Amino acid sequence: MVTTTATALARTGLVVAVLSGRGAASGMVRSTYSSAGAATQSATEITSRVPIACVIHPIRDFASGRFFIWCKSLVAEVVVRDPLAEPSDLIRSVSRALRVLESVGRAPRGLTVKQIARRCELTVATTYHLVRTLAYEGYVIRREDGTYIVGLEVADRYRELVAAFRGTPAVGETLRRVALETGWSHYLGRFVGGQVAITAVAEGHRSPYLEDLVPGFDEGAHATALGKALLATLTAEQRHRYLREYGMRPFTSTTLSTPEAFEADLAAGERRGMQLELGQFRQGVACAAVLISPDKDMERRTVLACALPASEMMTSARVVRTKLLTAARAIADSLATDN
């Protein structure tokens, strides 16, 4: 299973390292895979001569007895799915069509049918049928040069996702009003499918623009105050599992990189009355967050966060907390009315 996964990733152009050891984020390099095939080298030889792009670590979950693959891409966005989690009634044509759509979405300049087939490991004939179906439905568009790009139907689905995430108009109006009054960009976040995600955004004119922080953004929970506030509602064991699964990518030089440092930071946030980060996600930018609605159901827990220049946060932390808590109460009322 490990060899198959490593070989498949290598075909996409990544250099893959397979680790051996006990921890998912550590361990010795056992072998590497590239488009040229597999090679067994020492960790020193690999790190000094080859830039590793993707790390695979086979792990046995002793609680369930299952064997699975921990995989993290360091330089490229790669979709890796657990083969053990594949449903017995999987409709492969649908799965293949989605893989085609994902590949086209990651290529802004467009892809030909042959390029799509190669990236998805499908025959050209199969890819041609899938692409024509997606084009008919509006999910991809064929350009004059024969390449395919993402279609406008994808944008329609995203608008529907944003509307569903945001909730009632009252919630959106409250968020926009707070952003207008303070000048700071405000964000709502919650667990979606067990993953920390931004669900609504209202831009403020005094906050630095953060192009990544849009509804649906689900990365960097350890580096954002919004993510910290949500992860603080989990048990220590649940947090450790979350960080192990999604990693602790260093967005900046001050990003927390160990579970121990993260736990200490959360404890400081609890004492402070709000979770905080200074330049951990983006240099020169700070973010603060408070919990709006605690709930036994993890997916119903909601947090409110705001972003502002780090220099302003350092002199106005108490003011930020007061304004956040006031806004959180107003949004909680809107959410209660919605429910």
Q: What are the boundaries of each domain within the chain?
A: 2-85, 92-150, 163-338
Q: CA 65 → CA 23, 25, 68, 194, 258, distances in Å?
A: 16, 20, 10, 22, 26
**pLDDT band at residue 21 under the 50/70/90 scheme:** very low
CA distances from residue 92 to 88, 89, 98, 262, 319 in whole angstroms, order as listed: 11, 9, 10, 40, 54
Domain 92-150 has CATH 1.10.510.10: no
- Mean pLDDT within 299-311: 94
| Closest of 11, 3, 35 to residue 118, by C-alpha | 11
Dihedral sign for Cα 256, 257, 261, 263, please.
positive
According to DSSP, residue 209 is labeled P
Q: At 130, list the tokens.
A: 């899938």
Name which residue leads in pLDDT, 336 or 267: 267
Q: What is the mean pLDDT of residues 293-305?
A: 91
* One-letter identity of residue 14: L
Give which of 167, 104, 164 is closest to 130, Cα–Cα: 104
Confidence (pLDDT) at 268: 96
Half-sphere exposure of residue 240, counting CA atoms within 13 Å on the CB side? 6
CATH architecture of 163-338: 2-Layer Sandwich (3.30)
Q: What angle do CA 60, 13, 139 make, to 5 degrees?
A: 95
Residue 55 has pLDDT above 80, yes or no: no
pLDDT value of position 45: 42
CA distance 223 to 250: 8
Using alpha carbons, list the distances in angstroms from residue 202 to 67, 83, 162, 278, 338.
43, 39, 12, 20, 19
**26 pLDDT above the threshold of 50:** no
Please determine, for residue 89, whether its predicted confidence score (pLDDT) is greater than 70: yes
pLDDT score of 47 = 41
Confidence of residue 3 (pLDDT cuts 50, 70, 90): low
* CA separation for the pair 102, 146 (Å, rounded): 18
Quick one: what percent of the chain has pLDDT higher than 70?
73
Give the residue, 314 or 21, on which the prediction is more confident.
Answer: 314
The whole-angstrom separation of Cα 229 and Cα 221 is: 9
The answer to whether residue 48 scores a pLDDT higher than 50 is no
List Cβ neighbours of 146 (8 Å cut-off, separation of 6 or more). Answer: 112, 113
DSSP string covering 18-59, please? EEESS-TT--EEEEEEETTEEE---HHHHHHHS---EEEEEE
CB 71 within 8 A of CB 83: no
The mean pLDDT value for 155-173 works out to 85
Give the residue-averaged pLDDT of 73-101.
67
Rounded to 5°, the CA angle 261-267-269 comes to: 105
Measure CA 329 to chain center.
Answer: 28
Q: Where does the pLDDT of residue 54 fall: very low under 50, low under 70, confident under 90, or very high at 90 and above?
A: low
Q: What percent of the chain has pLDDT over 90?
A: 58
Give the span between the Cα atoms of 195 and 216, in whole angstroms: 10
What pLDDT does residue 162 have?
A: 83
pLDDT, residue 165, reads 82
The residue whose two tokens read 């302003």 is: 312
* Burial class (CB within 10 angstroms; exposed 0-12, middle 13-18, buried 19+) of 13: exposed
Confidence of residue 69 (pLDDT cuts 50, 70, 90): very low
Asked whether the predicted pLDDT for residue 113 surpasses 80, the reply is: yes
Tens-digit pLDDT profile for residues 179-212: 999 999 999 999 998 999 999 999 999 998 898 8
Q: Residue 219: its pLDDT value, please?
A: 92
Q: Mean pLDDT lowest for which of 39-53, 110-124, 246-260?
A: 39-53
Greater confidence, 144 or 56? 144
- Please state which of the ranges 66-70, 112-116, 251-255, 283-287 shows the lowest mean pLDDT: 66-70
